[in-house]
Amino acid sequence: MAKKLKIIVSVCMCIFISFAFCGCLKNNASSNSDRIKYYACSEDSICDIINKYNNYCSEHLDESYQIEIVEFDSQEDMNLKISTEIMSGGGPDVLSLSQKLPFEKFAENETLLDINKLVDSYGYDIGLGDCNSVIMDAELVDGKRYFIPLFYSPDVFITTEKTLKKYNLSPSDFSFKALSGELSGRKDSYSLLGSTDYCINLFYSFLDQYIDYNNGRAEFDTDEFSENLDCIYSLIKNDVSDENTYYFLYENINDGASVLYKAMPSFDSMVRTYSFLEYFGGSPVLVSNYNKGGCSSSASVDVGIAFNNNCKNKDKLLPFIKYCLSSYDIQKDMGAEYMYLPVNIKAMDYTVDMTDYEKDFDEDLTVSDKEKAVSKSARSAAIKDYKHIINNISECNLYSFDSLSETYFNSSVIGDIVNKYLNGDISKGKFIRQLTAATEIYLTE
Amino acid sequence: MKKKLLKRQHREYLAAFLFLLPSLLGITVFYIVPYIICCVKSLYVGEYFVGFKNYTDLFQNGTFLLALKNTAIFTFTAIPILMVSSFLIALFLNSFKKISSFFRSSFLIPVVVPIASLVCVWQLIFDDYGAVNGLLKLLGLNTVEFFNSEFSMVMIVFIYVWKYCGFCVILFTAGLANVPPSLYESARLDGAGSFKILTKITIPMITPTTFFVFLMEIIYSFKIFREVFALFGNYPNENVYFLQNFINNNYYNLNYPRLSSASIILSLFIIIILLAFFIFERRHSFAE
Contact B253 A105 (CB under 8 A): yes
Q: Do A72 and A200 fall into the same domain? A: no
Which 3 state secondary structure label does DSSP give A339?
coil
Read off the pLDDT of each residue in A82-98 and give the average, rounded to a whole number.
Answer: 87
Phi-psi region of B241 (alpha: psi -120 to 50; beta: other; left: phi over 0): beta
Amino acid A256: pLDDT: 67
Fold of B62-284: MetI-like fold (1.10.3720)
Amino acid A252: pLDDT: 66
Amino acid A388: pLDDT: 87
Distance from CA of B235 to the nearest CA of A (A): 6
Amino acid A21: pLDDT: 62
Task: Find the CATH number of the domain harbouring A63.
Answer: 3.40.190.10
Counting other chains too, the contacts that A48-52 makes at CB distance below 8 Å and 24 or more residues apart are: A48/A334, A48/A337, A49/A150, A49/A324, A49/A330, A49/A334, A50/A94, A52/A327, A52/A329, A52/A330, A52/A334
Give buried/exposed letters for A211-236 (b at 16+ CB in 10 A, else e): bebeebebebeeeebeebbebbbbbb
pLDDT at A28 over 60: no
Amino acid A63: pLDDT: 81
Give domain status of residue A31, yes or no.
Answer: no
Q: Do A306 and A377 fall into the same domain? A: no
For residue A414, the chain B residues in CB contact (below 8 A) are: 235
pLDDT at B287 over 80: no
Pick from A254-263, B139-148, B240-249: least confident: A254-263
Inform me whether the C-beta atom of residue B248 falls under 8 Å from chain A C-beta atoms. no
Pick from A129-138, A309-318, B30-39, B277-286: least confident: B277-286
Q: Do A295 and A305 fall into the same domain? A: no
* Cα separation, A85 vs A78, whole angstroms: 10
Pick from A5-9, A156-160, A421-425, B228-232: least confident: A5-9
Higher per-residue pLDDT: A368 or A420: A420
For residue A20, the chain B residues in CB contact (below 8 A) are: 28-29, 33
Phi-psi region of B252 (alpha: psi -120 to 50; beta: other; left: phi over 0): alpha
Domains in chain A, number: 2
Size of the A and B interface in Cβ pairs below 8 Å: 95
| Chain A residues whose C-beta sits inside 8 Å of any chain B C-beta | 1-2, 5, 8-9, 12-13, 16-17, 19-21, 24, 83, 86-87, 102, 105-106, 108-111, 309, 408, 412-414, 416, 430, 433-434, 437-438, 440-442, 444-445
Run of H or E including A158: strand A156-160
Amino acid B285: pLDDT: 60
Q: Do A323 and A412 fall into the same domain? A: no
Q: Do A163 and A289 fall into the same domain? A: yes
Give the nearest partner residue to A442 out of B24, B145, B235, using CB atoms. B235
Contact B253 A434 (CB under 8 A): no
Domain ranges of chain B: 62-284
Contact B255 A109 (CB under 8 A): yes
Query: For residue A32, what pLDDT band results from cuts at 50, 70 and 90?
Result: very low
Q: Do A328 and A436 fall into the same domain? A: no
Q: Do A142 and A234 fall into the same domain? A: no
Distance from CA of B63 to the nearest CA of A (A): 5
Amino acid B171: pLDDT: 92
Pick from A177-186, B10-19, B106-115: least confident: A177-186
- Model-level pTM greater than 0.80? yes
Give the nearest partner residue to B254 out of A111, A434, A442, using CB atoms. A111
Q: Do A57 and A147 fall into the same domain? A: yes
Query: For residue A17, what pLDDT band results from cuts at 50, 70 and 90?
Result: low
For residue B21, the chain A residues in CB contact (below 8 A) are: 12
- What does the mean pLDDT of chain A come to? 82
Distance from CA of A73 to the nearest CA of B (A): 20
Give the nearest partner residue to B62 out of A12, A111, A444, using CB atoms. A444
Read off the pLDDT of each residue in A288-295 and give the average, rounded to a whole number.
Answer: 75
For residue A8, the chain B residues in CB contact (below 8 A) are: 17
pLDDT in tens, B69-102: 999 999 999 999 999 999 999 998 888 777 767 7
pLDDT in tens, A177-206: 888 888 777 777 777 887 788 889 999 999
Closest CA to A75 of A418, A409, A408: A408
Contact A309 B45 (CB under 8 A): no
For residue A57, give its domain range. Answer: 37-152+301-349
Task: Find the CATH number of the domain harbouring A207.
Answer: 3.40.190
- Residues 92..121 of B with a Cβ closer than 8 Å to A: which? none
Pick from A61-65, A282-286, A333-337, B115-119: least confident: A333-337
Amino acid A190: pLDDT: 78
Amino acid A1: pLDDT: 62
**Rounded to the nearest 10 degrees, what angle do helices A75-87 and B243-252 cross at?**
100
Q: Do A397 and A288 fall into the same domain? A: yes
Phi/psi of residue A148, each to 5°?
A: -115, 105
pLDDT at B224 over 80: yes
Amino acid A307: pLDDT: 93
Amino acid A31: pLDDT: 45
Give domain status of residue A23, yes or no.
Answer: no
Give domain status of residue A21, yes or no.
Answer: no
Give domain status of residue A266, yes or no.
Answer: yes
Q: Do A309 and A275 fall into the same domain? A: no
Give domain status of residue A434, yes or no.
Answer: yes
Judge whether B139 and B131 are in contact, CB under 8 Å. no
Amino acid A410: pLDDT: 92
Q: Do A308 and A320 fall into the same domain? A: yes
Contact A5 B246 (CB under 8 A): no
Contact B254 A106 (CB under 8 A): yes
Read off the pLDDT of each residue in A111-129 and give the average, rounded to a whole number.
Answer: 88
Give the nearest partner residue to A13 out of B24, B62, B250, using CB atoms. B24
Give the nearest partner residue to A434 out of B66, B237, B255, using CB atoms. B237
Pick from A139-143, A330-334, B42-46, B72-76: least confident: A330-334
Query: For residue B150, what pLDDT band results from cuts at 50, 70 and 90?
Result: confident
Q: Do A334 and A223 fall into the same domain? A: no
Distance from CA of A434 to the nearest CA of B (A): 7
